[in-house]
Each structure stands twice: as structure tokens, then as C-alpha cells.
Amino acid sequence: TKVLHWIDHVTEVMYFDETDNRYHIKNLEEAHEEKQWHLILQGYCDPGYVGELYTSNAPMDPLFWPIHTSAERMMNWKRILSHKGLVDFNQTWGYAHPADTPSDTGTVCNWEAVDAGVATMPTCQVQECEGHGENDMLPSGNFLDQGETYTNAQFYALMDPYNENIPYLYDTFTWDTCESEGFEMSQDYFFSADYNASATDDSTTISNDVPPDTAALPSPNDAPTDGTDAQTPDGAFSPESGSSAAFPGTPSKH
């Protein structure tokens, strides 16, 4: 199957020794190496099951849709808590490459030069995937029926929970299941009398009138730096001000 050949192609911890015509793992004694090969063999014999959510077929799974809205509700809650100074939330644009996600290598591969009939690998470089950048344009828009288009950063600003012209609203920020497991993360915890007293003792001011602090986010009125044109309606939402006057004339559906 040439499995080891392909593993050797993408990792630096393995090498092929032409003297004994075998693959080896670097810096391991023979006995330890045999144990590691056995663990690798077990892993290949029992890889588990990859569900539909692992690939681009994910939208075919009904679970795909509630998972994304649940994630957005949690992100909105984190942004609210950050606006009020209750948690630290770094909203600098970017993303990490977790080591425990095998499919995320931090590289972008060009398959155009790969012949489908030849067992060759594409040319891969460490760079950002197209569409993931702060100023990359979304393929869709017109979410407020004003013909507007968005970069990723502009859409993130639009979704700010303090923007009163978002055409939807989450009714609660509670997670009873998480609370039952001991994870205190709901609104009843953060805005309880005990928590407020503790925060006050730490010289932390808590106010329901604190405006959102999203000064680091670009305004949809700012043109993207990559030369593309982003069209936004007059009076577009400005995260610098957190103004509820965003997109005037658009009815609020709260």
C-alpha cells in the first residue's frame, strides 16, 4: 500500500534506511521503535469512522445546521461578556493550527499539476487558504436587502450582538446541560449578585450600559486592502461606535 512512503513524505520523524531497506523512526532504540510501529499498525487497523461532518459534504447532515447556530450563539455571548469587561476575548483576526487536527497542516496545496493517473503529491506551501483572510470577500451578501457585500471582517462586525439591525435575536444565553456538568457559563452565573460582588471587589466595573468595544474591527465602510470593491449601504454599521443607527431604514426584527 506504500502507506509508510506517504507518511515519510509528510513527516520529519521518519526516514528510509537503504542499508536495511526499512523505514525507521528517528531517535528511537530498536525495542522502543518496535512498540511504536505496533501502535501505528493498531491505529491503521482501527481508524474509527469519519462522519459526513468531516468533509465538504457536511451540509447534507441535518446536524450541520443547528451546530453552526449553536456556535454563533456561544460566540455572541462571549462578545457580550467581553464588551462588559467580564472576560478576555481576543478578537484579532487570525486562526491557529491545532496539532490534534491531522487535516490542518497550515499549508495550501496546488493540485493543478497533479496527473490523476500518477501517484504524485501536489506542491504545498505554508500560506492562508483563499477565502479565510480578513479582507477576503464573502461569495454572498445582501443580507439586509440593500445590495451590500461583505468582507469577512465586515460580516463579523455586522453580527455584533450590539448591532440592533441584525434581523434575528437569540432569546437566551443559557446552557443548562453545561451547567449540570459543572461549567458555569450562562447569564444566571455572570450576572448573579455573588458574581457582581466578586467583580466589584476586584475593581471591575459592571454596567449594562457599557458600549461594545470593537475598535479593533474594521468598519464595513472601509475599503478592503486587496483592491476588491466592497459595497455597503449608507450609514453602514461601524464597530468603532457600536451605533444602533447602522443600516438606517432597515426594520429591526428583535
- Does residue 203 register a pLDDT over 50? no
225 plus 147 within the same structural domain: yes
Beta strands in 54-129 (DSSP E): 107-110, 123-126
Do 148 and 142 touch, CB atoms closer than 8 A? yes
The torsion defined by the Cα of 116, 119, 125 and 130, in degrees rounded to 10, comes to: 30
185 plus 72 within the same structural domain: yes
> Does residue 107 lie in a domain region?
no
Amino acid (one-letter) located at 164: E
> Does residue 171 lie in a domain region?
yes
> Does residue 117 lie in a domain region?
no
Ramachandran angles phi, psi of 112, nearest 5°: -65, -35
Do 165 and 148 touch, CB atoms closer than 8 A? no
Q: How far apart are CA 132 and CA 95, in angstroms?
A: 9
> Does residue 74 lie in a domain region?
yes
Residue 254 has what pLDDT?
A: 34
7 plus 80 within the same structural domain: no
**pLDDT tens digit sequence for 133-150:** 899 999 999 989 899 999
212 plus 246 within the same structural domain: yes
Angstrom distances, CA of residue 206 to CA of 35, 90, 117, 192: 56, 19, 64, 11
When mean pLDDT is compared across 111-115, 166-170, 185-189, 222-226, the lowest value belongs to 222-226
Q: Model confidence at 244, in pLDDT bands (50, 70, 90)? A: very low
Task: Estimate the share of the chain in helix, then strand, then coil, as percent rounded to the nearest 5.
Answer: 30, 5, 65
252 plus 199 within the same structural domain: yes
Q: How far apart are CA 135 and CA 24, in angstroms?
A: 45
The range of the structural domain enclosing residue 39 comes to 3-45
38 plus 142 within the same structural domain: no
When mean pLDDT is compared across 63-72, 92-101, 125-134, 150-159, the lowest value belongs to 92-101
> Does residue 212 lie in a domain region?
yes
> Quick one: cell of 237?
454599521
Q: What's the angle, vertex CA 166, arms to CA 162 and CA 172, rounded to 5?
A: 65
Angstrom distances, CA of residue 8 to CA of 36, 224, 240: 15, 41, 49
> Does residue 209 lie in a domain region?
yes
80 plus 8 within the same structural domain: no
189 plus 70 within the same structural domain: yes
- Does residue 250 register a pLDDT over 70? no
153 plus 82 within the same structural domain: yes
> Quick one: cell of 203?
475593581
209 plus 153 within the same structural domain: yes
> Does residue 70 lie in a domain region?
yes
143 plus 24 within the same structural domain: no
> Does residue 157 lie in a domain region?
yes
* Total number of domains constituting the chain: 2
238 plus 205 within the same structural domain: yes
